[in-house]
């Protein structure tokens, strides 16, 4: 006998990696969006999965070492939303500085540029913001290229110190530097001059 819709959904959830955040779109080959949504709500009420925000769920996994259940990171949630809505996103603002080790402060606001609409979510007391930019700014580019431009832009002109440039020089491989140099040539001139200083260091000649 073929399993019913909820059983099929539960079986697929079991096959997901523990860190995978999912939505109704992951089950559209099983049934329609409304039916899947109802089934996911029922499964969540049973405790087998946890709702993060409207439409996003994950499997809570107990971590013996810390005696707690796993909680998805804000970055993982942002990527899941981008996957759900087919957006291209990249960290920006203070969060981009944190990722590139230019700031040691863990932000309460996680900001991303996005090919989608402006959106804001409050998750576990932290703010997740998506800011729309022209698709030509982020679509088709390597994530490192977008991230570096966003971080430099966030700091502002004449704000990047030599010790920070040294940090950035060590974060990217030779091949990544080649890609970044090629893809960012149409960034504002002052940003590209900094990127050249980061990437044109003779390490990949």
Q: Give CATH 1.10.10 domain extents, the chain.
A: 5-69
Amino acid 2: pLDDT: 53
Give the pLDDT of residue 23: 95
Q: How far is CA 12 from CA 24, 103, 169, 187, 203, in A?
A: 12, 40, 43, 43, 47
Residues of the chain with pLDDT under 50: 1, 202-205
Q: How far is CA 162 from CA 116, 158, 165, 176, 190, in A?
A: 35, 11, 5, 21, 15
pLDDT score, position 200: 83
Looking at residue 202, its pLDDT comes to 46
| pTM exceeding 0.95 | no
Domain 5-69 matching CATH 1.10.10: the answer reads yes
Q: Which pLDDT score, from 0 to 100, does residue 188 have?
A: 92
The reported pLDDT for the residue numbered 201 is 62
Model pLDDT for residues 100-159, shown as the tens digit of each residue? 999 888 888 999 999 999 999 999 899 999 999 988 889 889 999 999 999 999 999 888
- With beta carbons less than 8 A apart as the criterion, state whether 132 and 89 touch: no
pLDDT of residue 1: 38
């Amino acid at each position: 006998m073929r399993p019913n819709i909820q059983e099929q959904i539960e079986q697929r959830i079991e096959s997901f990696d523990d860190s995978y955040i999912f939505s109704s779109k992951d089950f559209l080959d099983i049934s329609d969006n409304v039916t899947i949504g109802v089934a996911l709500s029922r499964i969540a009420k049973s405790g087998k999965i946890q709702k993060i925000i409207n439409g996003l769920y994950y499997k809570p996994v107990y971590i013996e070492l810390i005696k707690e259940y796993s909680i998805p990171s804000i970055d993982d949630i942002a990527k899941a939303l981008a996957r759900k809505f087919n957006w291209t996103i990249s960290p920006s603002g203070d969060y981009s500085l944190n990722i590139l080790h230019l700031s040691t402060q863990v932000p309460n606001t996680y900001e991303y540029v996005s090919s989608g609409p402006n959106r804001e979510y409050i998750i576990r007391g932290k703010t997740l913001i998506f800011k729309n930019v022209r698709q030509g700014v982020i679509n088709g580019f390597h994530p490192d290229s977008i991230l570096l431009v966003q971080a430099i832009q966030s700091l502002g002109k004449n704000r990047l110190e030599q010790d920070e440039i040294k940090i950035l020089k060590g974060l990217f491989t030779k091949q990544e530097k080649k890609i970044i140099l090629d893809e960012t040539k149409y960034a504002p001139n002052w940003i590209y001059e900094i990127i050249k200083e980061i990437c044109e260091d003779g390490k990949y000649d």
